[in-house]
Structure 1
Amino acid sequence: MSVPRSDNKPFRHPFARIRHAAPALAAWLLVACGNSDNAPPAAPAAVHSQVPGELRVQPASLQMLQIEPVAERRDSQTIWAPARIAFRDDRVTAVGSPAAGRIVQVHANIGDIVTAGQPLATVASPEALRLRAEAGNAVVAQGLAASEAQRQRLMVEKGIGVEMERAAAEARLREATQELDRARGTVALLGNGGNDGGGADRIVLRAPRAGVVAERKATVGAAVDTSGEPLFLVGDPSATWVVAEVFESDLAGLREGAEAQVETSSLSRPMRGRVQRIGTALNQETRRAPVFVSIENPPDTVRPGMLAKVAMQVASPPGLVIPLSAVLIKDERRSIVYLQRSDTVFQARDVELGQPMRGFIPVLGGLAVGDRIVVRGALLLDGAASQLQ
């Protein structure tokens, strides 16, 4: 007896524990209420109606049943999701090494507040030495090409030069200038490590912006290259948001701009926020997607890396929904509810259902708005029907 749940775990019906007691409860339903002398009634309290599949009960037995109309649900519900405080994507910068080498010194640690240009680590790199040497050679080559081009222009102006040689000198000058620009651009990425008291093989990694060191993976002696993961993450501590992990089943009803409430263990009062962005990719293991919540006026004590939990308003999917307690499983495959045809007449109705969510389940077929169904006590009716078969 199970109804599939959205988290892929079997749902056990609330009345599953008492199914074995259904015959005894049904027998009690068959007895007319108010019979003080315990004598058997002259006629059964539940009998077949004239219409096949219908069941008629004594009016006094209705007190054992809870009957509600089927309604179309359009309200919203609150869901809770685990979360963490993180830097905004556009306010955090990764710092890596522009050339292969080995870390010889680390100047900053996680949590340090740094200014733009402040040293974070120093890398010894033979490749940096080679690149700086190439840049020096490019300066010399460009100077020689410029002198030769100037000499050829003067000779042509005096009438003793050859135009073809002048054009060739101009072409060599353009090539040398382009190579110098390339070499200077590469050296610019290395920084001015050679002028900071170290050798020309040194690269000083610097903070690209003012902020706080959120992550450090640099250790003295570690080898680095341009394809490795960043050695530092520097973020703006004033630009944070909350990253909540929301179940796949709750994403459909979540909207950007929805109100949110953020709670952390370090704050006595919850923070207010709004859903700013909803992630599109699901974690294959947890079946959750990231939802980014902006905080309204976050206090100074909020820091990236803090754990939190977030309450968000989720719109219920449109359509008919009924309580899970109204559903009975027959033959391990049929879902039925008991429909009230008249005051004392009920009928077992096959229904097609969707995925349950927070105590309710969508109705895909078999019922209409306004149909009155048994939401508590359906198992007793089912037991009474079995007694009459």
Structure 2
Amino acid sequence: MPESAFLDRKVDSPHCDKAGIPVRRHFDPPRRRPPEGRHLQRMGGPIFSVLIVLLVAACSKPANQIAIANLDYWTCTMHPSVHSEIPGKCPICGMDLVPVTHGREKQPRPSEFVVPVERQQQIGVTYAEVRRRRMIFDIQAVGSLEVNQAQILECVTRVDGYIEELQVNSLGDRVAVGQPLITIYSPDLRAPEQELVNLLKAQASGSVSPASMDQLISSARRRLQLLNLGQAEISELERTGQPTDRITYRSAVDGVVSEAPMKVGMSVKRGDKLMTVLNLSDLWLWANFYESEVAFLREGQLVKIALPALPNRSFEGNIVVIGPTIDPLKRTALVRIDIPNPEGQLRPGMYATVAVQIDAGEGLTVPYEAVLPTGSRMLAFVDKGAGTLEPRFVQVGRQFVTLSDPKQEHYYQVTGGLREGERIVSSANFLIDAEAQVQGAVRDFGMEKPEPGR
């Protein structure tokens, strides 16, 4: 039969499709599906052996390698720049390398941010603990030396007259107690002197009762004393019975002449100043303390004093007076300190710096470097572990220094925002602050109130 006829013939058989086209030219019996579970045996023993070997290897894998399946690399805690794909020793210091993983970590709060530990080591971050210390600090102020007002002798005439003699006439002359300073001739002295002489004569004659005479004589002596006659002049008058028209002023203190305006022959009126003598054995130092510092001051406190004019000397004094008012412009109070001046090195008008040591007891403290000023508030970074940091505004008091510490490190008193035992960043604060700004960590906590310190 021709092939075309065979193609045109439609035969419904397993050897032809529906169009009658042959699909097989020879008999091929269908393959049977093997029973369930028998194809492993058909796969043969080699594949099954490989699976067993892999399973045993996985079970024998060290536990530490299983725990760090999400390993990134190995590094050295002392040298973070060292990176290795396999564990081993640091080529620099020989320490065991530690794994760095990228596993899921605790998500920081909105006000927290993360600086990896190795990054902190690179930028030199260190930590300090918030703890209690004894707070001893100095309050410093400035002031100037002045003359002790109670040690100023002003010779003022109480009679009219003329300058007859000047025993001391130069500024800066040193005088001693009882030393003559100036002599005045005054006719006003004759009458009261003559009265005393007459009373003494009457007492001697016995014409007047002794009781009344004693009272009159005492009043006459008192009148002469009010005219600045000294006891020596009055005694000389009683001895001689001869009134004089002259009065000699004597120094009542040891000191230095600061004013001597009179000349011999000049006329003087009652109330005129003849001479001024300053006693410089002790001086007053008036210092300006801020109103926030006055509460720490007490009368009698010891004060250390330094003067730029005497850089190699140090002086001490005691607080005598604490001013009752505050200067409305300077916001300061005047405090008077008495300073002994036995050697005479201190001079009125000298500029001085004073320091008062205050012991405020124990309190919560942080290192001075751990607090970052941000305008009107202070910022600290609290360690939350695993490189997580929390920026926190804190309230601080005064700055002080631990005297028992050889380094004399400075600290802040903490009044709010931190708790005892917390760890805070104590160095590289500016770099950490920059990282916090980049990560937006201060966005959600800027208005939070600081926690009270405990």
> Partner of 2:215: helix, strand, or coil?
helix
3-state SS of 1:117 partner:
coil
8 Å contact kept, 2:145–2:347: yes
The answer to whether the Cα contact below 8 Å between 2:283 and 2:348 also exists between their aligned partners in 1 is: no
- Alignment match of 2:179 (pick from 118, 123, 128): 118
Q: Secondary structure at the match of 1:190?
A: coil
Q: Give the AA of the match of 1:212.
A: G
Contact 1:73 1:316 in 2 (8 A): no
Consecutive unaligned residues in structure 1, runs of 5 or more: 1-32, 37-42, 151-168
| Aligned-residue offset at 1:367 | 2.0
Separation in 2, partners of 1:35, 1:103: 100
| Amino acid corresponding to residue 68 of structure 1 in structure 2 | A
Shift of 1:213: 1.0
- More relative contact order, 1 or 2 (CA 8 Å, 6+ apart): 1
Task: Give CA deviations for 1:255-307 in whole Å, capped at 9, x if unaligned.
Answer: 9675847566467xx33554444542388456453434557xx7x57354484
- The 1-side partners of 2:297 and 2:335 are apart by 13
Instruction: State the match for 2:22 in structure 1.
Output: none
Deviations 1:222-269 (A, max 9, x none): 96766x889422437xx45684736446673799675847566467xx
Residue 335 of structure 2 is matched in structure 1 by 289
Q: Are 2:371 and 1:326 aligned?
A: yes
1:367 aligned counterpart, secondary structure: coil
Supply the distance in 2 between the matched residues of 1:343 and 1:224 (Cα, whole angstroms).
90
- Check the 8 A contact 2:322/2:334 in 1, yes or no: no
Going from structure 1 to structure 2, the CA distance change for 1:71 and 1:242 (only over 3 Å counts) comes to farther
Contact 1:48–1:388 (CA under 8 A) maintained in structure 2: no
Question: Residues 274 and 213 from structure 1, CA distance in 2 versus in 1: closer, same or farther, beyond 3 angstroms?
Answer: closer
Q: Paired residue for 2:279?
A: 235
How much has 1:312 moved relative to structure 2?
4.7
1:215 to 234, 245, 258: 258
- State the alpha-carbon separation in 2 of the partners of residues 280 and 230 from structure 1: 34
- Give 1:58 deviation, angstroms: 1.8
**Which residue identity is paired with 2:440?**
S
Contact 1:103–1:123 under 8 Å retained in 2? yes
Distance 2:275 2:133 in 1: 51
CA-CA distance at 1:184 after TM superposition: 1.0
Q: What is the match of residue 178 of structure 1?
A: 215
How many residues in Structure 1 have an aligned counterpart in Structure 2? 310
**C-alpha deviation, 1:371, in angstroms:** 2.6
Counterpart of 2:322 in 1: which secondary structure?
coil
Conserved 8 A contact 2:111-2:442? no
* Structure with the higher fraction of residues in helix conformation: 1
Match of 2:229 among 171, 177, 190: 190
Deviations 1:150-192 (A, max 9, x none): 4xxxxxxxxxxxxxxxxxx75xx74554233122123133234
Secondary structure at 1:204 match in 2: strand
CA RMSD of aligned residues (A): 5.0
| Secondary structure, aligned partner of 2:178 | coil
How far the C-alpha of 1:340 sits from its partner, in A, is: 1.9
The CA deviation at 1:136 is 2.2
Indicate the SS of the match to 1:116.
coil
1:80-122, Cα deviation, whole Å (9 max, x unpaired): 76576777788x4524326254773652433323233222234
Q: How many percent of aligned residue pairs carry the same amino acid?
A: 17
